[in-house]
Amino acid sequence: MATLAFDRQLDQVAEAAKRIPTADARELAALKTELLGRKAGILTRLLRQLPELPPEERRAVGARANQLRRELEAAFEARESELKRRELEAAALDLTMPGRLRWRGAVHPVTQVVDEICEIFRELGFTRVTGPEVETEEYNFTKLNISLDHPAADAQDTFYLGPRLLLRTHTSPMQAHIMERYPPPIRIVVPGQVYRRDAFDPSHSPVFEQIEGLVVDEGISFVDFKAGIEFFVKRFFSPDTPVRFRPSFFPFTEPSADVDVQCQICKGSGCPTCKRTGFLEIMGAGMVHPAVFEACGVDPERYTGYAFGMGPHRIAMLRYAIPDIRLFWTNDMRFLGQFVD
């Protein structure tokens, strides 16, 4: 083979070698076989053919061919180790990979509200206690001065489990349990679920949360009652939230009041939620009826007290402008996710 043809082929090899620094692993392997393959590699073949050249030309061409082979080998090695390094890095940490979201549990919005309410009363010296959801007629009604003729005791409104046994319709039975078991002074809050035979609708549910409050001591007056409730409302809502006590009736308190706070949705100007009154009821309350003290073994001549019962579901709805109470039970993460902090 003539030197010229030899040189031209070496030029081709040099040209092909320019692809080495940017080749991927596949191309690199193919290129290596093509140029340096032991049998059919172009450069390998050329080197094998060197002896066919005239001796005087063989030296220069041979030097160039060998030089090219060394360069090629170095270039392949550099590219191979570069690709290897990248592969190792990719296996260790792929910064382009989307992150995996960790599932986090969170406290239900109503539980958050319950905790917050109990915490405010704790500052006033109240102890948080809980009690049974299954009650007797005696504790749910009789000891609270509710006669069994009262509509609340009717099987239409109450889930009876058996004769005289029922799911509590309010947390008030715990007033009786605590007064029977502990001497005054008493300051308790009792969160828990209560049950009523109501169908689900936007503002009713057959099961819902209540927080009962009870204070019993010597010299507790209506002023203490109002001050305690107002402290709570202003702490929970805001210091300038108007509070209203409306005369009401409960068999176990006398006098009784319904406590309203300014509607948080329209700020008092009147809207469908507050039925244009500017106020929303948040609890029933009053001074403990002497008949309840007597039924629970507390001397009504010596002690007075106040009690209240509020609905955290309602309060949560009011605070967060939630239109439908059923949202609290459907466990829709789009709803619940808004209350994760």
Size of the site for ligand PHE (CB under 6 A): 11
By CB under 6 A, tell whether 114 contacts ligand PHE. no
Q: Specify the 3-state DSSP secondary structure of 254.
A: strand
Dist CA 131 CA 241 (whole Å): 32
Part in contact with ligand PHE (CB under 6 A); list of ranges 105-113, 215-223, 236-244, 307-315: 307-315
112/248 with CB nearer ligand PHE: 248
By CB under 6 A, tell whether 292 contacts ligand PHE. no
By CB under 6 A, tell whether 126 contacts ligand PHE. no
Interface pick for ligand PHE out of 172, 205, 264, 304 (rule CB under 6 A)? 172
Interface pick for ligand PHE out of 309, 313, 315, 328 (rule CB under 6 A)? 309
Cβ-contact 174, 131 below 8 angstroms:
yes
Interface pick for ligand PHE out of 307, 315, 316, 325 (rule CB under 6 A)? 307
32/170 with CB nearer ligand PHE: 170
Dist CA 45 CA 69 (whole Å): 12
41/192 with CB nearer ligand PHE: 192
Cβ 323 to ligand PHE shortest distance, Å:
23
**What residues contact residue 68 under an 8 Å CB cut-off, 6+ apart?**
10, 13, 14, 17, 43
Cβ 191 to ligand PHE shortest distance, Å:
13
- What type of residue sits at position 232? F
Distances 7 to 43, 64, 65, 72 between C-alpha atoms, Å: 11, 9, 9, 16
Dist CA 276 CA 267 (whole Å): 11
**DSSP string over 147-195:** -TTSGGGSTTTS-EEETTEEE-SSSTHHHHHHHHHSPSPEEEEEEEEEE
By CB under 6 A, tell whether 184 contacts ligand PHE. no
Cβ 315 to ligand PHE shortest distance, Å:
14
Cβ 161 to ligand PHE shortest distance, Å:
19
Cβ 97 to ligand PHE shortest distance, Å:
55
- What type of residue sits at position 70? R
By CB under 6 A, tell whether 113 contacts ligand PHE. no
| 93 CB neighbour count, 10 Å cutoff | 7
Part in contact with ligand PHE (CB under 6 A); list of ranges 124-132, 265-273, 292-300, 301-309: 301-309
Closest CA to 283 of 219, 236, 330: 236
By CB under 6 A, tell whether 308 contacts ligand PHE. yes
Part in contact with ligand PHE (CB under 6 A); list of ranges 95-103, 280-288, 315-323, 330-338: 280-288
Cβ 221 to ligand PHE shortest distance, Å:
16
Token reading at 338: 């808004």
Provide the edge-to-edge strand list for the sheet that holds 127-128: 127-128, 186-195, 207-217, 304-310, 279-288, 253-262, 243-250
Dist CA 42 CA 6 (whole Å): 11
Number of H helices, E strands in the chain: 11, 10
32/175 with CB nearer ligand PHE: 175
Give the x-and-dash track for 244-263 against ligand PHE (CB under 6 A): ------x--x----------
By CB under 6 A, tell whether 228 contacts ligand PHE. no
Interface pick for ligand PHE out of 109, 284, 305, 312 (rule CB under 6 A)? 284
Q: Specify the 3-state DSSP secondary structure of 341.
A: coil
Task: Please give the residue ranges that form the binding site for ligand PHE (CB under 6 A).
Answer: 170, 172, 212, 250, 253, 284-286, 307-309
